[in-house]
Amino acid sequence: MKRFLVVAAVGALAALTAALGGSTAYGGSSASTAAAPIKIGALTSLTGNFAPWGIQARSGMALAVNEINRSGGVKGRGGGRRLSLVVADDQSSNTNAAIDGFRRLTQQENVVAVGGTIGSNIGLPVSRLAEDAKVPYFLVKSGNNEILTQSSRYTFRSCLPSAAMVAVSVVQLAQRHVATHRRRCEDQAVDARDLAPPDARQRHRRAHALADQVQRQARMAFAQQEHGLGQVLDQLGGARPSAARPGLAEAA
């Protein structure tokens, strides 16, 4: 379901930005560029901690571009125009790489819009560049609540609230799970009297492991609320993002 949502979101992005890019100020296609493809930029995480999500975002954008091209491109005056996806890797946490990538996409490749950004540490500085350049910039995650302001005109978060808005709910959910697993451990301790010692030890280890895992998720949620998920993953030494509970991952 999450992959479908990402694909749907970036598909809508491709259709919207293509329609904008294929028009002149008067709403018609420019005759001089009717045959030229409309370039869309993907600035996302292909390496680093956020790569599992960035690769999905790139794949979703590529799918949308291919579907539009197979259907004849972007329709308008002068015939359909094909789309072209240009990709840059922000390396999950490399601000300089992200800024260089955005400038390459907008100044050299002349894309009409940029999307696919995952991390807040990338979304915040790049959003300022997008506002200055007046280039539509779509965030897939990037939950830092400082990115979007009342003066934002070209920056959009496509599907997620900020980390501060969801962290408390995630912590409360994790705490309920901790309480449930603790009670389960206590119940199994009573049942263990009727089990063979090896079976009892195995059940206890499994129950305690589940409770400890949920406690770790709760600690990550508290840390994320203050620092953002990117910094949390760095502190964990590059832990696999796919091991994180979805609620934590979604507010990067």
pLDDT at 207: 65
69 lies in the same domain as 181: no
Nearest 10 degrees: Cα torsion 207, 210, 216, 220: -150
CB neighbour burial string for 24-56, b if at least 16 within 10 angstroms, e if fewer: eeeeebbeeeeeebbbbbbbbbbebbbbebbeb
Tokens representing 109 are: 């490749």
128 lies in the same domain as 42: yes
83 lies in the same domain as 168: no
Task: Give the domain extent around 124.
Answer: 2-157
Question: What CATH number should be reported for the domain holding residue 58?
Answer: 3.40.50.2300
From 135, 157, 179, give the residue that closes a domain: 157
pLDDT at 219: 63
19 lies in the same domain as 71: yes
25 lies in the same domain as 144: yes
pLDDT at 237: 53
Q: Give the integer Cα–Cα distance in Å for 205 and 209.
A: 6
37 lies in the same domain as 126: yes
Alpha helices in 81-228 (DSSP H): 95-103, 120-133, 163-191, 197-227
142 lies in the same domain as 48: yes
From 107, 123, 157, give the residue that closes a domain: 157
Tokens representing 3 are: 């992959």
The full length of the chain comes to 252
Question: In the beta sheet, which residues pair with residue 42?
Answer: 87, 115
The number of domains in the chain is 2
Q: Give the integer Cα–Cα distance in Å for 134 and 149.
A: 15
pLDDT at 164: 65
52 lies in the same domain as 176: no
pLDDT at 220: 63
179 lies in the same domain as 144: no
- Give Cα 156 distance to the centre of its chain: 13
The residues, any chain, with a CB within 8 Å of residue 172's CB and separated by 6 or more, are none
39 lies in the same domain as 126: yes
- Count of C-beta atoms within a 10 Å radius of residue 153: 10
47 lies in the same domain as 150: yes
Question: In the beta sheet, which residues pair with residue 204?
Answer: none
171 lies in the same domain as 124: no
From 108, 133, 157, give the residue that closes a domain: 157
Nearest 10 degrees: Cα torsion 234, 237, 240, 241: -20
pLDDT at 177: 73
pLDDT at 158: 86
Report the side by side order of strands in the sheet with 38-44.
83-89, 38-44, 114-117, 137-139, 155-157
Q: How deeply is 227 buried, as exposed, middle or buried, from its count of CB atoms within 10 A (0-12, 13-18, 19+)?
A: middle
Per-residue pLDDT of the chain (252 residues; tens, 9 = 90+): 455 444 445 555 554 544 444 433 333 444 444 578 999 999 999 999 999 999 999 999 999 999 999 999 998 766 789 999 999 999 999 999 999 999 999 999 999 999 999 999 999 999 999 999 999 999 998 888 899 999 999 999 987 666 666 667 777 777 777 777 667 666 665 555 555 556 666 766 776 676 666 666 666 655 655 555 666 566 555 444 444 444 444 445
Beta 83-89 vs 38-44: how paired, if at all?
Answer: parallel
